[in-house]
Amino acid sequence: MSDQEPRRLRALAAIAVGQLRHIGPKRTAALASMGLESVFDLLTLYPRRYIDRTRRVDLSDLRVGDEAAVFAEVTASSSRRTRQGKSLVDVSIVDGGETMKVAFFNQPWRAAQLTPGVQAVFFGKVSEFRGTRQMTNPVVDVIVGATGEDRDASRVGGVVALYPASGKAGVTSWEMGGFVEESLKRAGPLLDPLPAPLRHDHSLIDRTAAYWGIHLPRDLADVAPARRRLVFDEFLRLQLLLALRRRRLEETAAGVRHPFDEHDLDVSPGSLAGADSSLVRRFLSAHRFALTGAQRRVLSEIGRDMSSTLPMHRLLQGDVGSGKTVVALATLLMAIDGGRQGAFMAPTEVLAEQHVAALRADLAGLRVRDDAVLGGDREVVVQLLTGRVKGRERQAVLSALGTGGVDIVVGTHALLTDDVRFRALGAVVIDEQHRFGVQQRALLRDKGREHSLEALDPDLLVMTATPIPRTAAMVVFGDLDRSVLDELPAGRRGIVTSWACTPLEVQGAWRKVRDEVAAGRRAYVICPLVEESERVEATSAVAERTRLATHELRGLSVGLLHGQMKSAQKDEVMAQFRTGEIQVLVATVVIEVGVDVAQASVIVIEDAWRFGLAQLHQLRGRVGRGDAPSHCYLLGEAPNDEARQRLEALVESDDGFALAEVDLDLRGEGTLLGARQRGRSDLRLASLRRDEALLNEAREVALELVAGDALAHNVEMVDELRLFVDDEEAQFLFRS
Ligand code: ADP
Ligand code: MG
């Protein structure tokens, strides 16, 4: 084995599991059902945890009521039926001379699994039965299988790795350990694409040692350095891909250099701005409020991007209410000042229309040069383009976009259709990015150039109100620059959040709604989330509105908004809510994103536990936009611990970033990363929470390798990266 060429990961990915000893067609199929097809798959199936067989829990220390993980050997087992006809398997286990009973109801197959000699971990609660301690239906991990199985128990060391096993596929953790061990041996020495000096600088062990250390540690001290190396590799590959993608985009970029003067950001309302000063300057000097410090800072970051020839590729994160809209608007004005156009994409029609109205109001009186009109200037033109704008109206907008008669177009995904062409698209702002997938973002970028007569890449600003922890942003949006609005406009009165469980508390919530309405303000009521379909959800919203209008909120003007309504209806309802004709709006989550009615001062969320934390935070952000103190009531009990923690976090904090961290803790990163994964998923071991420092190191190394061209010369590393992207992307990233 020693003279064998070190293997690349690609070579391991090419060895099918069927080539290993003891893996025939049946097991091949079972492993395939778990997504395990190659030796590489097995080696990256990491242990869930380890059992240190040298440190046992003493059975005699266990008390009734304890929850414990007991590692013990089966000495006897028997099965029978109870008087009620249930199957019962009784197992005796022994450890250090002490014995204990374990009972399994309705799991007849345990008799075959737990035969004498089998060593396993039993995890469960200790109870008492007829004077002796017993565990009933514990979770079982077989560590050392029965004799006669393929793996030699005597060869297993003091520390045993436990693998994700699959009862359904019939593969035990013990067998899996055998397959992995065999894979390690078959693999032999592994090629290490990380140069030794780099490994040394970052205290990383070499790759072969890392795979052995994580799967077959001699003692537990072997695991941490092994894990460190493997996590580093996961992060490094991902960051290399992101850095490379970015570099390629820049190499092929044909960006626009928009005019920008930092000093224009320092004007405040009421100050003078001559007719020949920049649009941004004139806009800010006539605006109804001054920028917050954070808005000022972010706009200067954006301005620097806009005025460079590289197209901007920036993510703007700002909590609900932090004032992203004015940032978007100023960005678009920078583009218009240079004689180009801007596009503003919203996730829904309701929002697109709200934006058009708001933008027009904010821009009223602002004039731009236009040699095609008499006098040489005209007001900034903002147009709506959604699926609903049809026929002649649509044709008019399209043709004005083509000639430059429209400065800002606001729309939904419909802006991406092929017949939308610009004279000179200079900047694109995407609002509430989580509704737009990564794919759509890419599509937009690609189309940008083709859609514009000018054939340059527009600058891109992606805005999100769903705060993402820094680490997650590095992973999910690592190819974007990042700006953060971390300051709310002054004068906010805050939102008091209460969790109303008892009937008395719920009554209090409805009373608050009546009081606020009596004081001339408005309220939202969010209906329970219904998973089955939008139609069912709409039906239940209709019923809830009727119920409230005839009971708790009788006498008030109660309106309704749900996803099944026609857009025109929705608009009408929103308009009535704005004017106060409707005092209470009963709605489904359609209002989650961005709806802005400053007079709304109370929101009641029914069955709050059904919503995710980020969603609840978004919903709550619909109030607290005016100068009255606002209230948010979360209704309903929490059916489980996780839900309770979610609601409690919300009561405690209204800081979106703090909540995002809580969310990451509660849900893990899987959900966050899910949308990202293209090709083979590569973050198996890494934890964004635990491994932040390592992520930073890997990112630095990646940036260095890509910037210095060292990557291009590291053939092995490039070969490895190719394993993790699909063909199309590989072509983009690695063509020479
Ligand atoms: P976001 O889209 O980030 O949730 P908006 O842009 O809708 O927030 O702004 C929320 C509210 O705060 C709006 O009513 C807006 O007019 C107001 N606002 C924004 N920036 C400022 C500011 N600098 N000073 C005062 N009010 C502001
Ligand atoms: Mg907004």
Question: What does each C-alpha distance from 704 to 197, 227, 531, 736 come to in angstroms?
Answer: 14, 23, 47, 19
Indicate whether 257 belongs to any domain: no
Residue ending a domain, choose from 485, 506, 540: 485
What residue's CA is closest to ligand 1, atom 5?
Answer: 323
Half-sphere CA count of 93, side-chain side, radius 13 A: 28
Does one domain contain both 464 and 419? yes
Residues of the domain holding 168: 1-48+163-188
Does one domain contain both 331 and 431? yes
Does one domain contain both 204 and 148? no
Secondary structure E strands in 286-370: 313-318, 341-345, 367-369
Does one domain contain both 387 and 460? yes
**CATH code where residue 88 lies:** 2.40.50.140
Which residue numbers in the chain have pLDDT < 50? Answer: 1, 148, 674-680
Alpha helices in 364-502 (DSSP H): 391-403, 438-450, 470-476
Indicate whether 153 belongs to any domain: yes
**CATH code where residue 592 lies:** 3.40.50.300
Ligand nearest to the CA of 593: 2
Q: Give the Cα separation of 662 and 88 in Å (integer).
A: 42
Distance 346 CA to ligand 2 centre (A): 9
Does one domain contain both 352 and 426? yes
Contact (Cβ atoms closer than 8 angstroms) between residue 476 and residue 465: no
Indicate whether 448 belongs to any domain: yes
Ligand 1 neighbour 323 (Cβ under 6 A): yes
Does one domain contain both 455 and 439? yes
Residue ending a domain, choose from 485, 512, 537: 485
Does one domain contain both 343 and 436? yes
What residue's CA is closest to ligand 1, atom 17?
Answer: 323
Q: Give the Cα separation of 484 and 487 in Å (integer).
A: 9
What residue's CA is closest to ligand 1, atom 2?
Answer: 324
Which residues lie across from 141 on neighbouring strands?
Answer: 121
Does one domain contain both 471 and 506? no
Q: What is the predicted pLDDT for the residue at 679?
A: 37
Ligand 1 neighbour 624 (Cβ under 6 A): no
Q: What is the predicted pLDDT for the residue at 4?
A: 74
Alpha helices in 558-684 (DSSP H): 567-579, 613-620, 641-652, 656-667, 670-674
CA proximity to 176, closest of 71, 10, 47: 47
Indicate whether 735 belongs to any domain: yes
Indicate whether 500 belongs to any domain: yes
For 294-341, write each residue's pLDDT tens digit.
999 999 999 999 999 898 989 999 887 889 999 999 999 999 999 999
Does one domain contain both 128 and 247? no
Q: Give the Cα separation of 595 and 357 in Å (integer).
A: 12
Does one domain contain both 29 and 178? yes
N- to C-terminal Cα separation, the chain: 36
Ligand 1 atom closest to Cα of residue 325: 6
Q: What is the predicted pLDDT for the residue at 436?
A: 55
Residue ending a domain, choose from 653, 671, 702: 653
Ligand 1 neighbour 98 (Cβ under 6 A): no
Quote the number of domains for the chain: 5
Ligand nearest to the CA of 320: 1
What residue's CA is closest to ligand 1, atom 15?
Answer: 323
Ligand 1 neighbour 625 (Cβ under 6 A): yes
Q: Give the Cα separation of 642 and 609 in Å (integer).
A: 9
Does one domain contain both 422 and 531? no
Indicate whether 277 belongs to any domain: yes
Q: Give the Cα separation of 337 and 354 in Å (integer).
A: 24
Alpha helices in 124-222 (DSSP H): 173-187, 196-201, 207-215
Does one domain contain both 215 and 183? no
Contact (Cβ atoms closer than 8 angstroms) between residue 183 and residue 208: no
Indicate whether 683 belongs to any domain: no
Indicate whether 348 belongs to any domain: yes
Q: Give the Cα separation of 191 and 233 in Å (integer).
A: 13
